[in-house]
Amino acid sequence: MLDSKNLRENIDTISSNLKKRKFILDKSKFLSIDKDRKEIIVDTENLKNKRNVLSKEIGILKSKNEDAGSILKKVEEINNTLDLKQGLLENAETQYNNFLLDIPNILDDSVPIGNSDKDNKVIKYSNDKNLEILNKNSNFKDHSDIGKSLKLYDQEIAAKISSSRFSLLFGELASLHRAVAQFMINEHINHNGYTEVNVPLIVNSDSLLGTGQLPKFKDDLFEIKNKKDFFLIPTAEVPLTNIFRDIVLLEDDLPVKYTSLSSCFRSEAGSYGKDTKGLIRQHQFEKVELVNGVNPSTSDESLELLVNSAEKILDLLNLPYRKILLCSGDTGFSSSKTYDLEVWMPSQNSYREVSSCSNFKDFQSRRLNAKYKNKISKKKQFIHTLNGSGLAVGRTLAAIIENFQNNNGDIEIPEILRPYMNNSKIIKKSS
């Protein structure tokens, strides 16, 4: 949510900024909504003031045992008009709030202008030497076929147990999955300054409103039916970021950096027929999430650090990937600037997103009411929040399987993961 004061005072600048992401701000509508609301507020406040003054007089008269009849009548009149105004006020407030909630975040100046993902800017390609080796593999298969032929992956049984878009991993592939997750979160804890948090996987609607999944993106969520106001988390961003909701941090405590390995649940409504094979698009998947609450003066640097932490995982796994700066048209609603990391998926001959790192500035913290106390001004100010995946575990596993497959269908275990796999080097078909 944008700062309404800022919007009022800089409406032209903000409007042209939002235009970059194809959002047309109805300036005159905002100004009139804003003005109407204010007039009604001033109006009702004045009436309330009158009532308060008169009520006090009544109290004084009554304590002296004097008659307060005439004043009572006046107050009654005031209350009647106040009742009428109340409806108007509520109406004006809803209009005002809805208008503000529908406005996306202001884009950072460094975000390239563009319409779609085609206009995203590639910052760099990494580890691309693997690419050549892979292209020479004549028996090349996708990760789900490799898993199946090793008898370590099954989607059909998962469909029986649950439904489509679920998977079962067996044996060493299950272990490898766990190893990937362990490795990732350990990196962030041990080398990137993160505090591990174990979070609730079920959250209430307030939390989802705070991070922006609600009200706009309800269809993407799993809602728990028999328990009202319960949802499965689509990402650990929700519980982690909501740690900051309604609290005031000390400036010296910033930045606060939390990480969590959690399951994530997404309904994937509207993606029928897309990525039906394999681990790419599942209703349930694991992800290591990184969340920062920072001093507003340092959030630009924090975003770079955050994306570097995620990149390092791919580097250490020696997976080919590219780093992308999303263009104005592709940057998410709440984000002011977003980097994506995309890992090379040879079977699809394309790069697939494994991480998305965003700086929300004060857009989320305003909704969350997440503040810190400024040491100099002693004022409470909104923190800046950031988050990023570090990384999506299932997709990373798929990328490992595909990029580290051998001609004979075995999977080589990336060196950095071997300590997590009893030092074995390879996953072979058991005969």
Partner RNA sequence: GGAGAGGUGGCUGAGUGGUCGAAAGCGGCACCCUGCUAAGGUGUUAUACGGGUAACUGUAUCGAGGGUUCGAAUCCCUCUCUCUCCGCCA
- Computed on alpha carbons and rounded to an integer, the radius of gyration of the chain in Å comes to 27
How many helices, marked H, and strands, marked E, lie in the chain? 13, 17
Give me the least distance between CB of 52 and RNA, in Å please.
4
122 binds RNA, rule: CB under 7 A: no
80 binds RNA, rule: CB under 7 A: no
CA distance 52 to 60: 13
- In the range 22-41, which residues lie near RNA by CB under 7 A? 38, 41
The binder of RNA chosen from 32, 52, 139, 198 (CB under 7 A): 52
User: Using CB under 7 A as the criterion, what x/- string covers residues 351-380 for binding RNA?
Assistant: ----------------------------xx
Residue given tokens 């028996």 in the structure block: 139
Question: Which of residues 63 and 350 has its CB atom nearest to RNA in the complex?
Answer: 63
**Alpha-carbon dihedral of residues 292, 298, 299, 305, nearest 10 degrees?**
-70
Question: Which of residues 171 and 215 has its CB atom nearest to RNA in the complex?
Answer: 215
CA distance 164 to 184: 27
65 binds RNA, rule: CB under 7 A: no
Task: Tell me the two tokens of residue 274.
Answer: 């897309």
72 binds RNA, rule: CB under 7 A: yes
| DSSP H helical ranges for 318-419 | 363-368, 393-403
Question: Which of residues 89 and 416 has its CB atom nearest to RNA in the complex?
Answer: 89
Three-class DSSP category at 391:
strand
245 binds RNA, rule: CB under 7 A: no
Question: Which of residues 11 and 58 has its CB atom nearest to RNA in the complex?
Answer: 58
User: Using CB under 7 A as the criterion, what x/- string covers residues 378-397 for binding RNA?
Assistant: -xx-----------------
Contacts with 26 (C-beta within 8 Å, 6 or more apart), sequence order: none
Give me the least distance between CB of 226 and RNA, in Å please.
11
CA distance 146 to 408: 10
Give me the least distance between CB of 8 and RNA, in Å please.
8
Three-class DSSP category at 413:
coil
59 binds RNA, rule: CB under 7 A: yes
Question: Which of residues 54 and 123 has its CB atom nearest to RNA in the complex?
Answer: 54
Binding range to RNA, per CB under 7 A, among 71-79, 141-149, 161-169, 268-276: 71-79
CA distance 229 to 362: 26
Strands 256-265 and 195-196: parallel
Give me the least distance between CB of 41 and RNA, in Å please.
7
Closest C-alpha to 173, from 410, 416, 431: 410
User: 332 and 420 in contact (C-beta within 8 Å)?
Assistant: no
CA distance 244 to 86: 33
- Angle, alpha carbons 178-184-188 (nearest 5°): 145
User: Using CB under 7 A as the criterion, what x/- string covers residues 5-24 for binding RNA?
Assistant: x-------------------
Give me the least distance between CB of 54 and RNA, in Å please.
6
- Measured over the CA atoms of residue 235, residue 237, residue 240 and residue 245, the dihedral's sign is negative
Give me the least distance between CB of 117 and RNA, in Å please.
37
User: 274 and 281 in contact (C-beta within 8 Å)?
Assistant: yes
Three-class DSSP category at 169:
strand
58 binds RNA, rule: CB under 7 A: yes
216 binds RNA, rule: CB under 7 A: no
The binder of RNA chosen from 9, 26, 66, 76 (CB under 7 A): 76
Question: Which of residues 90 and 196 has its CB atom nearest to RNA in the complex?
Answer: 90
CA distance 198 to 189: 13
The binder of RNA chosen from 49, 81, 115, 139 (CB under 7 A): 49
Question: Which of residues 75 and 294 has its CB atom nearest to RNA in the complex?
Answer: 75
Three-class DSSP category at 259:
strand
Give me the least distance between CB of 379 and RNA, in Å please.
6
The binder of RNA chosen from 60, 131, 250, 269 (CB under 7 A): 60
Task: Tell me the two tokens of residue 207.
Answer: 């939390």
**Total of residues contacting RNA (CB under 7 A):** 25
75 binds RNA, rule: CB under 7 A: yes
Binding range to RNA, per CB under 7 A, among 45-53, 317-325, 388-396, 417-425: 45-53
**Alpha-carbon dihedral of residues 213, 214, 218, 222, nearest 10 degrees?**
70
Give me the least distance between CB of 91 and RNA, in Å please.
14
Q: Which residues bind RNA (CB under 7 A)?
A: 5, 38, 41-42, 45-46, 48-49, 51-56, 58-60, 62-63, 72, 75-76, 79, 379-380
